[in-house]
Structures are given as C-alpha cells and as structure tokens.
Structure 1
Amino acid sequence: MPDHDRLAEQFERHRPHMRAVAYRMLGSHAESEDAVQETWIRLSRSDADEVANLAGWLTTVIGRICLNILRSRAARPEDPVGVHLPDVVVGQEPSNGPEDEALLSDSVSLALLIVLDTLAPAERVSFVLHDMFHLPFDEIAAVVGKTPAAARKLASRGRRRVQEEREADSGGDFATRRTLVNAFFAAARD
C-alpha cells in the first residue's frame, strides 16, 4: 500500500498541469476533471515502476484521452441551444507558486478556446501541446498516433487557422478586449 500512496502523491503533484492541458484542449471543467480521473485510473492500473518520465507519461495519456473526447464530440455532435462557449474560470484554485498563478491567468482565454473549436481534434491537440506546453513533436506524435512530421504539419495547420481567425476578428484591439474580459470575470466572481 505505501507504493500506491507514493504514486498518488506523485500524481497529485502533476494534477494542476494535467488539468490545464485538458482544459485548454476541451474547454470544459467537467470533461477536464473526467480526463484527469481517467488518467489516474490508467496510471493505477499500469506498472508505474516501468515509467521513466512520469510527467511525460501523464501528459501523453491525458492528451490521448482528450483526443478521444474531441473525436467523440465530432462523431456524435449535439444540438446545443445557443452558442457553445467554453467554461469560464470564476474562482482561483490554491496555487503552489508564481508560475502556477501565471499559468492559471494565461490558461483562460475565451476567444482562443472558441477558435480552437474550429480545429480538427488532431490539429487542436498538436497545436495546444506544442505551442502552449512546448512539447516536442516526437512526444506529440505518440499522442496523436502520427509521425513527428505529420504532428508538425497538424500544429502548423492549427496555428495558421488560429491566425486566420484572429485576423478576421474585428472585435477591437487587445487592450480593450482584455479590459472587457477582466470586467466580466470580476462581475462573475462577485
């Protein structure tokens, strides 16, 4: 049992990172938490002693789980009432330090999540893991089940489509949008 407790402690240290990865890919707190729990189940059922790089293993597994969720969404689209918007972060979770605060404040970009909804699942995973979490394409290729060159191409397509959406957006300058988003979050917290 002590090995199970040690594994649980290691998992808990990586939970904020996994939650951030899943949320950026899925845009839903509930689905992100489900993905993190599924990752724990897979870790607890695996031979964890064979895992050389736990952080890399967890990122790969949660990336694959998110990819499956995104593919499932595409295969069985729902008819939402109104426009689908990603979940908004209203409160702040406990932080381990300044880098966690920066990650949390950076992780909530509503416009980016809306744009990411236009990407194909593999493009979205490749783009998020490379551009936001700086994972090498060799690791991303293992997540999406492609070659590193194909993962690079998927990320490039995603980046290009996001840039096209940003250029097409005529919603005002960044400072104005940031002020509006901050005002919305303040009002939501109160």
Structure 2
Amino acid sequence: MDSAAVDRFEASRGRLASLAYRLLGSAADAEDAVQETFLRWQAADRARVGVPEAWLTKVATNLCLDQLRSAQARHERAAGAWMPEPLLDGDPMLGPADTFEQRESVSLAVLTLMERLSPFERAVYVLREAFSYGHAEIAGILGITESASQQHLHRARARVGAERRRGAETDPASARRVVEEFLTAAVSGRTERLVALLTDDVTAVSDGAGLARRLLRLRTPERVASFVRAGFRPTPAKRRLAGGSPAFHIARVNGSPAVLAVIDGRVVGVVAFGIGDGRVASLHGIAAAERLGRLGDAWGRHEPDAPVIDAW
C-alpha cells in the first residue's frame, strides 16, 4: 500500500476510533475494529472507492455491528455485568465535543443507557447525534432505507431521552464543588447530607468494586446514600482488598466530574457523577481492573491536582 493510501487512512483513524468507542463502549474493542478496518482498506481495490472517508466509516460501523451482534457480546451484555470503559478527559478516543449532543453521547450514563438499544438503533443514534450524518448517509452506511433510519433514531431518542432530560450541562467549577461536598460527606458518614445532595430521581450503577457478577442498580436518595456511605467507609479489609490506602482525586471522565481512587499512582476505582440543578442525578462506579487500564495509563502521564482526601 502506497503512502498516500496510508495517509488517507491515518487522517480518519481518530474519527473511526471515537465512532467505534461510542458503539462498543470499550477502548480495546474499538482499537481492534479500527485495525480490522485498516486491514480491509489495505486489501480493497481502492481505485474503485469514490469517497474513502465514507467507505472507511461504513466498514468500521458494520464491524462494530457484527461485534454487538456476536454470541459472545450478547452473552456478556445480557448477563448484566457489562459497563462502559471510562476514559480520562483529553483522551482522543472521546472524539468530537463541540456540541451538547456530542458530549452527551460519550457520557458513561448515556453509554450505559445505550445497552437498551438494538445494534441498528445504537448505530443510527451515534452517527446522527455525535457525527451529524444525514439520514441518507446513514442509510447508505447501514444498508437500510432513510425511513428506517428515521424510525431507529426516533426509538433511540425515546429510550435515551430520560437521561437527556436529566443531563442539563453544569458549569465545571460548580459541578466540582458538588462532588467535593459529596465526597466529604461520604467519607465522614454524613448520610443526611448525602441524601440532601441527591436528586429525588437519582440512579446509581456499580460493578460492585469489580467483584459482583451482575451490576448493582439503585434508586431513591436513601438507598443510594446508604450504598455510597458503606462503599466509602474505610476499613482494614477494604484497604487490604485495594492494596493500600487510596487518595481521592477529582478529575473529569467521559466529560463528567469524577472521583478517582488512586494508590501509588495506580487508579483502582472511578465514580462518575451526573449533576443536575446543583445536585447529583446519577453515579456510575467502576473498579474492575480490566476496565481501568487505559484510564490508568493516561493518569500516569497526567499532572493531577492535589487529592481532596489523601488519607483514607
């Protein structure tokens, strides 16, 4: 393959990776999809490809759809233990973030909600909301009619709409203050203050410190506050399990404020927050090591602020 063909692919690599990440929710799987797209580009009769960007997008999207429809993926996701892989803000795989729709489409809350969508609904939603493709273009990429594309988008928006209504953007400085207060209340055991910091329709999803076979899902401020208080209560057993006493930093993950538990520079847990009207509307807790590798590598290259809590 000549250098011009390589250059054409490399010019699209970042966009393809962020597309695949939104579709699959996994950075490792997204990288595999991009690499397979490159191999198919290498083997293609490129003289017959009219618009390389469109061709590459179609191949990558359909590879992701094949992955979502695979028996292994269906089993893993149906088992109720699947969560998206969090990424530290600044990771190029997060892709475009110019509009609210683009930022929203990569939040952990929306990536988790997209598990309710069929593969086609998910693909149409991502292509339209995050990459602004028209329905005619989407129809060509997916091999469906424009009418079908519009119907898939309508159903996807309806299913993700609850989070959109709860997900009004908050000034980052204000969101950080809410998270700092929430973390302080959680560690100190101030359950009443935790409840006051939660919206009435708060939701929490956790992988159970990476140990649960199914995701833990909680609703109501009282249940969420109780769960958070128990999770943040320091005990010798938790320190042994984590491999030490973590410091707690506040950073931004997938466009949202998050608390990172860090031991000797190693990220051992992440809680991402959705903030609405000055309170916490959603929490997503992830501690499974296989979901934290890329974020941990990025954190190691990062110059973090001082921890909010440095002795747990």
TM range (shorter): 0.7 to 0.9
Q: Which residue of 1 aligns with 2:147?
A: 149
Match of 2:56 in 1: 58
Query: Deviation string for 1:118-153 (max 9, x for gaps)?
Result: 101010001110121111112211333211111111
In the other structure, the counterpart of 1:27 is: 25
Give the CA deviation at 1:44: 0.8
The Cα of 1:94 is off from its aligned counterpart by: 6.7
- 1:175 alignment counterpart: 170
1:1-190 matched pairs, under 5 angstroms: 4-72=2-70, 76-78=74-76, 83-90=81-88, 92-93=90-91, 102=97, 106=103, 108-166=106-164, 174-175=169-170, 179=176, 180=179, 181-184=256-259, 189=299, 190=304
2:245 equivalent in structure 1: none
Between the aligned partners of 2:171 and 2:106, the Cα distance in structure 1 is 16
Percent identity between the two aligned chains: 36
Whether the aligned pair in 1 keeps the contact of 2:62 and 2:142 (CA below 8 Å) is yes
**More strand by percentage:** 2
Indicate the structure with greater helix content: 1
How far residue 78 of structure 1 moved from its aligned partner, in angstroms, is 2.2
Distance in 1 between residues matched to 2:38 and 2:109, nearest whole Å? 30
Q: Equivalents in 2 of 1:90, 1:73: separation in Å?
A: 30
Q: Which has the larger radius of gyration?
A: 2
In 2, Cα distance between equivalents of 1:24 and 1:79: 15
Aligned partner of 1:120: which letter?
S
* 1:144 maps to amino acid: L
How many residues are matched?
180
Structure 1: gaps (5+ residues): none
Q: 3-state SS of the aligned residue for 2:85?
A: coil
Change (3 A) 1:79 1:151: closer
> TM-score, length-normalised on structure 2?
0.50
User: Cα–Cα, structure 1 residues 45 and 60, in superposed 2: closer, same or farther, change >3 Å?
Assistant: same
Measured on the aligned residues, the alpha-carbon RMSD in Å equals: 3.2
CA shift, 1:182, in A, is 2.2
